[in-house]
Structure 1
Amino acid sequence: MTSTGETTGEPAGPGVLVLAATPIGQVGDAPPRLAQELLGADVIAAEDTRRFKRLTSDLGLSLTARVVSYFEGNETARTPVLLEALLAGQRVVLVTDAGMPSVSDPGYRLVAAAVEHDVTVTAVPGPSAVLTALAVSGLPVDRFCFEGFLPRKAGERSRRLGTLAAEERTMVFFEAPHRTEAALTAMAEAFGDDRAAAVCRELTKTHEEVRRGPLAELVAWAGEGVRGEVTIVVSGAVTVLLPDDPASLKAAVAAKEAAGLSRKDAILAAAREAGVPKREVYNLVHS
């Protein structure tokens, strides 16, 4: 503890694992703490050491830390090595090519191992393609879910999207540019051609582009070819409630409770959507 009563964040025993967010486009978006952590690290685990070298050059940093690669291909084998460094009291900083480590990027295995061995895990917050795309999409942001990358195989992709057809929250996906048209086509088949969506390409970069519209329109646009990093945002399903259908009203309340709303809030939300008095839905649910 400091004299002001604030925690310093420093561990009493083992080292510290720092998940450091890196820019998703412009180097100027790097948080000041990123440079501080890189300069103070004992070991830096980077998804792509060449890209990391360019980043440190752009930031004007001269590092003393040992830099090792940590990517999908060696994540399983490299995790015990990094854990050993942490248990020896070293400060390990993990960075990926863009955004926050472990969010659809390497990092989860190391975090899990560190937590299991009571190693302090902290983060340098910073740029996030998920939140950036969500914010600029123009779609509802009060409730959302992140689905990462869809399966590459068509059948598996369709099945995954089928399980999300009734999802009421706004959904965020990552996708490779050469699979964007196929992904949007599968989404249109699962969610309907008229479901609102946005394709966010090259966020914060020179050629940033956000295309908004119904899925059918976005499929046609993607057919001309897509380049760069892609994040897709899709609006959630809209439940149509019939005022004179007690079963649908009760089912809507149950679904909203299952999604995390209290019984009171679920009843209020269902009543508003159906355009009926709250008391009517309340009596129906408690009958």
Structure 2
Amino acid sequence: MLYIIASPIGNLEDLTLRSIRILKEIDLIFCEDTRVTKKLLRHYEITKPLLRYIDDDSKINFYRDKLKSNDIALITDAGTPLLSDPGYKLINIARQNNIDVTSIPGSSALMTAVSLSGRKMNNFIFEGFFSKKSTDQLILSSKLRYRTKDTFLFDSPKRINATLNFLKNKLLERDVIVFHELTKLNEKVIAFNLVDLPLYDFKPLGEYIILISGTTIKYSKIDEDFSTYIKKEIEYLVTNGLSLKNSAKIIADIFDLPRKDIYNIWIDKN
């Protein structure tokens, strides 16, 4: 059996009773960092063998053999596994070998931020960690300019100020919420408009989540960055079997843009 266990994101008391019981009963724990997991286990007086897990194809046979002969828990340093953390390959290995998999729900930094946002959250988009690649950053900023849904990003403490300045330069005026050190004693939830960013200085310590509000303007000028992104998306969809008409419709629906404008971007490419 493979158990997917959510770990505390800051406060060790947030591990669920069921998770504690399972961790005491299983044979082996796959974890992100053995040092971090040892601290958690020590708090609950649990002693189990630990193995560092990474999504590495060269270790498939090793992971398969361990799964076949042990009840195993997969746990990350903080939060729910697979949410911007490794683990999806392990689950696929288990299922391909008819090994049962179940999830033990618990802490999630993303869902904690959602519940603290104070915004109507029937629909939102999670983009994972803000990319270090400049091309990916430009594509994301173009999507954010046209996206009407709220967007969540994870970001590292070393890059938080640079990321916010980048967003300010690209989005100009947009409401954001910065979540810092959730569930910890110095937890902070800071809501402001990017125009006022110079008034804030975020410390390069701890974990950050950024909520970027969706635009209230459904349509504005399509810029060069966005056009480049659209061309790549249409090419991907067409290459994978969709008609040009359906591809343009899908992208137009996503961004609340006229289909003819999306189609014309593709025509200009050719």
* CA positional deviation for 1:257: 9.6
* CA positional deviation for 1:195: 1.0
| Mapping 1:106-255, distance limit 5 Å | 106-190=86-170, 192-218=171-197, 220-222=199-201, 225-240=203-218
Cα 1:79–1:25 change in 2 (3 A) is farther
SS in 2 for 1:178: coil
What TM-score, normalized to structure 1? 0.71
* CA positional deviation for 1:186: 2.1
Alpha-carbon distance between aligned partners in 1 of 2:123 and 2:198, rounded to the nearest angstrom: 25
Segment drifting more, 16-25 vs 115-124: 115-124
Could you tell me which runs of 5 or more consecutive residues in structure 2 were left unpaired when the two chains were aligned. 220-248, 255-270
Alpha-carbon distance between aligned partners in 2 of 1:255 and 1:139, rounded to the nearest angstrom: 27
Q: String of CA shifts for 1:122-166, please: whole Å, max 9, x gaps.
A: 111001000111221223311111110121133432223223322
Q: String of CA shifts for 1:96-141, please: whole Å, max 9, x gaps.
A: 0000111111111212222333322211100100011122122331
Alpha-carbon distance between aligned partners in 2 of 1:31 and 1:219, rounded to the nearest angstrom: 40
* CA positional deviation for 1:79: 4.1
Alpha-carbon distance between aligned partners in 1 of 2:198 and 2:86, rounded to the nearest angstrom: 30
Identity of aligned residues (%): 30
1:60 aligns with 2:60: no
Query: Could you tell me which amino acid in structure 1 is paired with residue 177 of structure 2?
Result: A
Aligned residue pairs, count: 225
Segment drifting more, 20-29 vs 210-219: 210-219
Alpha-carbon distance between aligned partners in 2 of 1:56 and 1:169, rounded to the nearest angstrom: 39
Could you tell me which runs of 5 or more consecutive residues in structure 1 were left unpaired when the two chains were aligned. 1-15, 242-253, 260-287
Query: Could you tell me which amino acid in structure 1 is paired with residue 61 of structure 2?
Result: P
Runs of 4+ aligned residues of structure 1 deviating over 3 Å after TM superposition are 75-80, 254-259
Contact 1:147–1:171 (8 Å) recurs in 2:
yes
Cα 1:27–1:225 change in 2 (3 A) is closer
Q: Of the two, which has the highest radius of gyration?
A: 1
Q: Which residue in the other structure is 1:263 paired with? A: none
What TM-score, normalized to structure 2? 0.76
